[in-house]
């Protein structure tokens, strides 16, 4: 806890991450949202109805963890803010949350396929297992409830038939986990097509869990072999 980015840094990071998300095709139209925590009870957030690739800092909103608006311009908050705020409430170590609809990750969310295979070091150490949060009507209270069980032990989850949610102890970590998630979905799909899966051995995976702990990553779950 503590050691937050400043209001200024949070706003410029949200704009930058929005551009990267959009340019990489992780969101289309006005999909997706980003929040960054700036003190124990405040986050900056993307507004609803705006393309995340073309945001300016004056479009962003500041809210408390109950969703009350502290500061805003002309644009309104998104109904998806509730799942972001729930992640912060469930785990005080989290300082940024990113929601997107990346094509491969969203396909996994529709297929109900978690990322849980130890394919390479990065997906064991940095990303870890990405479980599936059960489907909930967008904007409903069931969405944050569906995500809550995963916030302490994992670095993100699929939202069934919807998209992805990743989080981190700093803003770029939350965004890079989205990149890593999409990359892992590509690789897992390609491996399935190649029909030749040579996963890391149990011993190799255990060594990576040790490495993960030493590197200070507190979450990630246990991969299946």
Residues that bind Zn ion (CB under 5 A): 163
* Kind and range of the H or E run holding 138: none
CB of 143 to Zn ion, least distance (A): 9
CB of 170 to Zn ion, least distance (A): 23
Question: Looking at beta carbons only, is 83 or 200 nearer to Zn ion?
Answer: 83
CB of 142 to Zn ion, least distance (A): 14
CB of 80 to Zn ion, least distance (A): 6
Question: Looking at beta carbons only, is 128 or 163 nearer to Zn ion?
Answer: 163
Question: Looking at beta carbons only, is 137 or 194 nearer to Zn ion?
Answer: 137
Question: Looking at beta carbons only, is 38 or 104 nearer to Zn ion?
Answer: 104
Residues whose CB falls within 8 Å of the CB of residue 196, separated by 6 or more in sequence, listed in order: none
Q: Can you tell me the distance from the alpha carbon of 162 to that of 144, in angstroms, rounded to the nearest whole number? A: 14
Strands, DSSP E only, in the chain? Answer: 33-39, 42-45, 61-63, 69-71, 96-100, 132-133, 156-159, 163-168
Question: Looking at beta carbons only, is 163 or 168 nearer to Zn ion?
Answer: 163
Question: What is the 3 state secondary structure string of 191-205?
Answer: HHHHCCCCCCCHHHH
Which among 90, 67, 97 is positioned nearest to 163, based on CA atoms?
Answer: 97
Q: Can you tell me the distance from the alpha carbon of 76 to that of 63, in angstroms, rounded to the nearest whole number? A: 11
Count of positions (residues) in the chain: 225
CB of 93 to Zn ion, least distance (A): 24
Nearest to Zn ion by Cβ — which residue?
A: 163
């Amino acid at each position: 806890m503590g050691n937050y980015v400043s209001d200024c840094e949070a706003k410029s990071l949200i704009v930058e991450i929005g551009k990267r998300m959009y340019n990489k095709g992780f969101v289309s139209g006005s999909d997706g949202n980003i929040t960054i925590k700036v003190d124990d009870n405040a986050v900056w957030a993307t507004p609803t109805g705006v393309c995340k690739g073309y945001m300016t800092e004056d479009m962003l909103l500041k809210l408390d963890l109950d969703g009350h608006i502290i500061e805003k311009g002309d644009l309104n908050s998104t109904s998806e803010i509730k799942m972001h705020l729930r992640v912060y409430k469930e785990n005080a170590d989290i300082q940024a949350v990113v929601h997107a609809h990346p094509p491969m990750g969203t396909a996994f969310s529709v297929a109900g396929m978690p990322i849980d295979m130890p394919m390479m070091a990065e997906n064991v150490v940095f990303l870890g297992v990405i479980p599936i949060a059960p489907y909930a009507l967008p904007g409903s209270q069931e969405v944050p409830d569906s995500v809550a069980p995963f916030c302490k032990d994992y670095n993100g989850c699929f939202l069934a038939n919807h998209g992805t949610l990743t989080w981190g102890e700093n803003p770029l970590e939350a965004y890079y986990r989205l990149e890593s998630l999409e990359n892992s979905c590509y690789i897992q799909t390609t491996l399935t097509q190649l029909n030749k899966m040579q996963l890391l051995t149990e011993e190799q995976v255990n060594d990576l869990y040790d490495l993960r702990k030493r590197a200070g990553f507190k979450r990630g779950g246990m991969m299946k072999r």
